[in-house]
Structure 1
Amino acid sequence: LSLREQLFVEAAHAVGARLPSILWRHVLPNLLAPLAVQATFIAAAAVLVEAGLSFLGAGIPPQVPSWGNMMADGRNFVVMAFHIILYPGLLLAATVLGINLVGDGLRDALDPRLARQL
């Protein structure tokens, strides 16, 4: 909604551009970057929620391998074999970080305002 009130949209409308043309040429390129970033943040949050719920026993069934289930299985052995929890936790953190970095890269690649600054 805030893009609709931007100066470039009003200028395109003032010179007689039709609504589909304004949407395709001006609004869509400025909308792609925030949507891509939001989608990757939601994906990273979904991975964390699934792992957290699986760790607590409220997620997917215990027979299905997931990082939350792996960490829950190693909870009883943390004193003797801490690596049972350490490695799935590190991989979970690396996956979430990687998803967020992909979102940041997509924002840099798709944002037309950043392209003009380079």
Structure 2
Amino acid sequence: MLKRIHHAAIICSDYHRSKSFYTEILGLTIIAENYRVERQSYKLDLALPDGGQIELFSFPAPPSRPSHPEARGLRHLAFVVESVAQVKQTLEEQGIAVEAIRIDEYTGKAFTFFSDPDGLPLELYQA
């Protein structure tokens, strides 16, 4: 039946700021970028190294996230990395606030959280 997640869709408040964050800071590759005039909306398809994708959308005046991080629905988006400590340092060197590294009590793996420009919680999880 289900094989893997194909993509996660994110609606941002400032398209150019979020595009820069996901491509320049997180290093995702652009697959396609389209502006939909009838919706006054960008749709940016970004590639993850494993074949997964992030769809970054902009819409005029999207509503804010109800709460952080415990709103009903998607809680956070997690990315597997080789070294949580190394990626944390890289993000911090670029001015991104990253929480302290924690250890998952069930798997023993390191993880931490940071936020995108709209406050969407993102997680780094040790490979």
Q: Settle same-fold status: TM greater than 0.5.
A: no
Which structure dedicates a bigger proportion of its chain to strand?
Answer: 2
- In terms of Rg, which structure is larger? 1
TM value normalised by structure 2: 0.19
Which structure dedicates a bigger proportion of its chain to helix?
Answer: 1
If asked which structure has higher relative contact order (CA below 8 Å, sep 6+), I would say 1
